[in-house]
């Protein structure tokens, strides 16, 4: 059977918020230290301590928003330890992640510099689990108050005269787990209390983010919405794709063939989670004022052999590229509610877009998906009808996952994933509601010859996009052939 897709070029379904393409950087393993921050005295070329190669790669990918400092680390982080002269900053233990020394050299000023260099929005996650209302309130004052106050004066003394703009502020992380093991009723009350003192100073408007549920914890969502929806602008959801179980998650490379379909199937579970959580949100917020922010998602495998188990370092293959493509398509479909998402994590941790080793850096297959899909950022989602083949047995999958959008210049972008690791996918695309007679098509594709095809420091371009040409156009119809396990993005313009 040939897969068929009808794109309604004249029917839009909402805007794909660019922040759906957001990222997450935690003080965990080699994400912040080594991956982003090398220090001003490092032989690795850097800008004010931030490595240039990584900066350049991230800028190209157009990273819109970056979450920091955690994760679980956020609820153990005391921001005052990370400001002032670096040599005087406290050295402490990163108790949650590997028990290593945290020297606090990367703090508020360094993170805000990173965001400035990346031209992205900062998303700061505050500490509810082990912090105080005053500490959180003063952090916001330190960063954003433009006037005379103890925190603003301290910021100036530390070298930053003007306040920063901080829009996104999270009140705690995973407070049902590492953020304090709280019950939702208790956290809802704490959220209401803490957020009261997260002030919007001057023209800086803070978007307050409540800690939402893990996976399918619908009771947490129900309780938070019921008790606190008036005081939040967004609420979070965390869901990781784990092929196995927590104690044996499965390997990032060299995995058995059976784990291909299981992984993709589990990634697709995001659709059900978002639908069901959104349905609960709809009861309390029918006008969809409140956003759902999936601020942790991605694959989570067993760590690479020989690496610190607390560092969560894993390789990244064409399978991860497909997980990224499928998940981003799900976020597109729910763009009325999902306003931000942050894949975990940016560098050297979990489903990273960049891996580093000393002065070397490589771009993972997941990076290439984010890079190719950047054309969807802030574009209008187009209505689409799909009739696609089902593949696999027990872990049945659709052969194709697709999404189309129209950008501000009127160009249509169609992203396509062939989930089938064995067979090509033949596809017919019909463009309806298209004013032009003929359509011009060009594109790029990412594929691999192995289910665990990945990039290494010695072979960094094994999985990299190439021009895609295996299609024929006739009027506003397109016939395409996608190789097994591939992700493609096509641009459709008037001829
Ligand atoms: O991303 C790794 C960890 O996963 C985060 O610190 C935590 O929030 C989640 O459990």
Residue nearest to atom 6 of ligand 1 (CA): 71
Kindly state if the Cβ of 296 falls inside 6 Å of ligand 1: yes
Instruction: List the structure tokens of 486.
Output: 């591939």
Kindly state if the Cβ of 72 falls inside 6 Å of ligand 1: yes
Handedness of CA 368, 269, 417, 329 (dihedral sign): negative
CA 97–ligand 1 middle distance (angstroms): 10
**Number of Cβ atoms within 10 Å of the Cβ of 61:** 22
Instruction: List the structure tokens of 381.
Output: 């989602």
pTM for this one? 0.97
CA 299–ligand 1 middle distance (angstroms): 12
ipTM of predicted assembly, 2 dp: 0.99
Residue nearest to atom 3 of ligand 1 (CA): 71
CA 72–ligand 1 middle distance (angstroms): 6
Residue nearest to atom 4 of ligand 1 (CA): 71
The CA distance from 266 to 240, in Å, is 9
Q: Which atom of ligand 1 is nearest to the CA of 70?
A: 6
> Which residues have a catalytic role annotated?
174, 296
Strand partners, 416: 402, 488
Helix (H), strand (E), coil (C) string for the chain:
CCEEEEEEEEEEEEECCHHHHEEECCCCCCCCECCCECCCCCCCCEECCEEHHHHHHHHHCCCCEEEECCCHHHHHCCHHHHCCCHHHCCCEEECCCCCEEECCCCCHHHHHHHHHHHCCEEEEEECCCCCCHHHHHHHHHHHHCCCCCHHHHHHHHCCCCCCCCCCEEEECCCCCCCCCCCCHHHHHHHHHHHHHCCCCCCCCCCEEEECCCECCCHHHHHHHHHHHHHHCCEEEEEEEECCCECCECCCCCCCCCHHHHHHHHHHHHHHHHHHHHHHHHHHHCCCCCCEEEEEEEEECCCCCCCCCHHHCCCCCEHHHHHHHHHHHHHHHHCCCCEEEEEEECCECCCCCCEEEECCEEEECHHHHHHHHHHHHCCCEEEEEEEECCEECCCCCEECEEEEEEECCCCCEEEEEEECCCCCCEEEEEEEECCCCCCEEEEEEEEECCCCCCECCCCCCCCCCCEECCCEEEECCEEEEEECCCEEEEEEEEEC
Residue nearest to atom 9 of ligand 1 (CA): 71
Residue nearest to atom 5 of ligand 1 (CA): 71
Residue 425: half-sphere exposure toward Cβ, Cα within 13 Å? 29
Q: Which of 24, 66, 71 to mutate to test the pocket of ligand 1 (most atoms within 8 A of CB)?
A: 71
Q: Which atom of ligand 1 is nearest to the CA of 74?
A: 6
Q: Which of 35, 98, 123, 174 to mutate to test the pocket of ligand 1 (most atoms within 8 A of CB)?
A: 174
Which of 388, 251, 415 minimizes the C-alpha distance to 321?
415
- The pLDDT value recorded for residue 395 is 75
pLDDT tens for each residue of the chain, 495 residues long: 899 999 999 999 999 999 999 999 999 999 999 999 999 999 999 999 999 999 999 999 999 999 999 999 999 999 999 999 999 999 999 999 999 999 999 999 999 999 999 999 999 999 999 999 999 999 999 999 999 999 999 999 999 999 999 999 999 999 999 999 999 999 999 999 999 999 999 999 999 999 999 999 999 999 999 999 999 999 999 999 999 999 999 999 999 999 999 999 999 999 999 999 999 999 999 999 999 999 999 999 999 999 999 999 999 999 999 999 999 999 999 999 999 999 999 999 999 999 999 999 999 999 999 999 999 999 999 999 999 999 987 779 999 999 999 999 999 999 999 999 999 999 999 999 987 778 899 999 999 999 999 999 999 999 999 999 999 999 889 999 999 999 999 999 987
CA 71–ligand 1 middle distance (angstroms): 5
Kindly state if the Cβ of 211 falls inside 6 Å of ligand 1: no
Q: Which atom of ligand 1 is nearest to the CA of 26?
A: 6
289, 360, 383 from 15: Cα distances, Å: 15, 37, 12
- Given a contact cutoff of 8 angstroms between Cβ atoms, the answer to whether 29 and 308 are in contact is yes
The CA distance from 152 to 204, in Å, is 14
Kindly state if the Cβ of 351 falls inside 6 Å of ligand 1: no
- The pLDDT value recorded for residue 111 is 98
Residue 470: half-sphere exposure toward Cβ, Cα within 13 Å? 14
Contacts with 199 (C-beta within 8 Å, 6 or more apart), sequence order: 137, 140, 141, 206
Q: Which atom of ligand 1 is nearest to the CA of 72?
A: 6
Instruction: List the structure tokens of 115.
Output: 């965001």
Residue nearest to atom 7 of ligand 1 (CA): 71
Kindly state if the Cβ of 26 falls inside 6 Å of ligand 1: yes
Name the CA dihedral angle for 407, 65, 178, 93, rounded to a multiple of 10 degrees.
Answer: 150
- Residue 412, Cα to own-chain centre: how many angstroms? 23
The CA distance from 397 to 390, in Å, is 6
């Amino acid at each position: 059977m040939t897969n068929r897709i009808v794109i309604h070029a004249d029917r839009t379904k909402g805007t794909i918020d660019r922040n759906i393409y957001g990222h997450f950087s935690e003080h965990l393993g080699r994400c912040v230290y080594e991956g982003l921050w090398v220090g001003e005295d490092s032989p690795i070329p850097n800008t004010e301590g931030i490595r240039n190669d990584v900066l350049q790669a991230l800028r190209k990918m157009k990273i819109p928003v970056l979450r920091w400092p955690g994760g679980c680390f956020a609820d153990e982080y005391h921001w005052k330890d990370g400001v002032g002269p670096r040599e005087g900053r406290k050295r402490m233990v990163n108790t949650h992640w590997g028990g290593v020394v945290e020297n606090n050299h990367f703090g508020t000023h360094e993170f805000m510099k990173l965001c400035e260099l990346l031209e992205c929005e900062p998303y700061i996650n505050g500490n509810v689990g082990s912090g105080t209302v005053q500490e959180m309130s003063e952090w916001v004052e330190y960063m954003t108050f433009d006037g005379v106050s103890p925190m603003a004066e301290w910021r100036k003394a530390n070298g930053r005269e003007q306040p920063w703009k901080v829009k996104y502020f999270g009140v705690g992380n995973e407070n049902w787990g590492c953020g304090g093991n709280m019950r939702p009723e208790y956290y809802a009350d704490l959220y209401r209390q803490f957020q009261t003192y997260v002030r919007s100073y001057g023209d800086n408007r803070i978007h307050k983010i409540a800690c939402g549920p893990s996976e399918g914890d619908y009771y947490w969502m129900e309780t938070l919405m019921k008790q606190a929806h008036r005081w939040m602008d967004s609420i979070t959801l965390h869901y990781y794709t784990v092929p196995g179980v927590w104690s044996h998650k499965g390997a990032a490379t060299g995995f058995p063939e059976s784990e291909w379909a299981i992984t993709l199937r589990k990634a697709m579970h995001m659709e059900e989670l978002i639908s069901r959580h959104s349905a609960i949100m709809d009861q309390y917020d029918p006008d969809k004022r409140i956003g759902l922010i999936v601020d942790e998602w991605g694959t989570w495998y067993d760590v690479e052999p020989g690496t610190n188990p607390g560092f969560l370092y894993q390789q990244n293959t064409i399978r991860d590229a497909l997980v990224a493509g499928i998940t981003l398509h799900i976020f597109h479909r729910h763009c009325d509610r999902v306003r931000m998402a942050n894949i975990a994590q940016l560098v050297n941790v979990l489903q990273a877009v960049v891996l580093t080793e000393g002065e070397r850096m490589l771009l993972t297959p997941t990076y290439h998906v984010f890079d190719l899909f950047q054309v969807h950022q802030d574009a209008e989602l187009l209505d689409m009808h799909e009739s696609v083949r089902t593949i696999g047995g027990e872990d049945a999958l659709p052969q194709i996952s697709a999404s189309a959008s129209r950008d501000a210049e009127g160009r249509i972008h169609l992203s396509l994933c062939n989930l089938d690791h064995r067979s090509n996918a033949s596809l017919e695309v019909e463009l309806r509601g298209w004013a032009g007679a003929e359509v011009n098509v060009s594109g790029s594709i990412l594929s691999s010859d192995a289910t665990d095809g990945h990039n290494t420091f010695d072979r960094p371009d094994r999985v990299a996009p190439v021009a895609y040409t295996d299609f024929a156009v006739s009027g506003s119809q397109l016939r395409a052939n996608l190789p097994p396990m591939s992700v493609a993005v096509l641009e459709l313009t008037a001829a």
